[in-house]
Amino acid sequence: MNNPQQYTKLIALTLAGSREAYSELYEITIQDVYKTVHFLIGDPSDVDDVVQEIYIQVHRSLPQFDINRPFPPWLMGLVMRQILAYRRKRWTHLRITKKAEEYEQTMTYDFSHHVVDKLSNHSLLSSVEHLPYKLKHVVILHYLSEYSQEEVAIAPVDMTIDRPFFFAIKDTQSKA
């Protein structure tokens, strides 16, 4: 429909409160709006939502419409603004989702495979279990927790590092 008087009449009736006039304005413009949105959005599941938002915005913005200007370009301008708002909202949502996934991945570091790898040698593990407590403590800190000899020396053990470390290694090698 390219009749500007028809648009003007329907807009005036709509502003006066006529639902039938707004319904007719909707019926006249829906095909062009739907085609434009479908072409620019691409995702069929979101097209209906965007079209609905467009017509809500049309109803809200009709009082600001200048009757001296043509209605179809004004409507398409509103369509373009709503599509941009949709894309911006979708992009923001995707960005937030991606950041949340990255944060979740950094927070759930799985270290169990390292422990399993270190404990998989059962003969060595049984030899370590037969060591006295202080020697076992030193071996566990050094090999399982990967502490350096200096770090093990700082750990609260009643002996110095060199002597227990030496005896622990010697005792484990003799049992293996």
pLDDT over 60 at 162, yes or no: no
CA distance to 45, 84, 95, 102, per residue, from 91 (Å)? 16, 10, 6, 16
| pTM of the full structure | 0.55
**144 lies in the same domain as 158:** yes
**86 lies in the same domain as 21:** yes
pLDDT over 70 at 157, yes or no: no
**23 lies in the same domain as 82:** yes
List phi, psi (to 5°) of 29: -105, -15
Domain of 136: which CATH number? 1.10.10
Of 107, 127, 158, which marks where a domain is finished?
107
**87 lies in the same domain as 160:** no
Token look-up 């770090």 returns 151
pLDDT digits (tens, 9 = 90+) for 32-75: 899 989 888 878 888 999 999 999 999 999 999 988 888 999 99
pLDDT over 60 at 159, yes or no: no
pLDDT over 70 at 158, yes or no: no
Contact 75, 28 (CB under 8 A): no
**121 lies in the same domain as 141:** yes
**103 lies in the same domain as 120:** no
pLDDT of residue 112: 61
Domain of 93: which CATH number? 1.10.1740.10
pLDDT of residue 108: 58
Of 66, 82, 107, which marks where a domain is finished?
107
Of 47, 78, 107, which marks where a domain is finished?
107
Question: How many domains is the chain built from?
Answer: 2
How many C-beta atoms lie closer than 10 Å to residue 52's C-beta? Answer: 11
Q: How confident is the model at residue 16 (pLDDT cuts 50, 70, 90)?
A: very high
**99 lies in the same domain as 13:** yes
**63 lies in the same domain as 139:** no
pLDDT of residue 101: 81
Domain extent at residue 131: 112-175
What mean pLDDT comes out for the span 113-127?
A: 64
Q: For the chain, what is the mean pLDDT?
A: 79
Cβ within 8 Å of residue 142, ≥6 positions away: 148, 149, 152, 165
Q: How confident is the model at residue 135 (pLDDT cuts 50, 70, 90)?
A: confident
**155 lies in the same domain as 71:** no
**170 lies in the same domain as 125:** yes
pLDDT of residue 154: 61
Q: How confident is the model at residue 19 (pLDDT cuts 50, 70, 90)?
A: very high
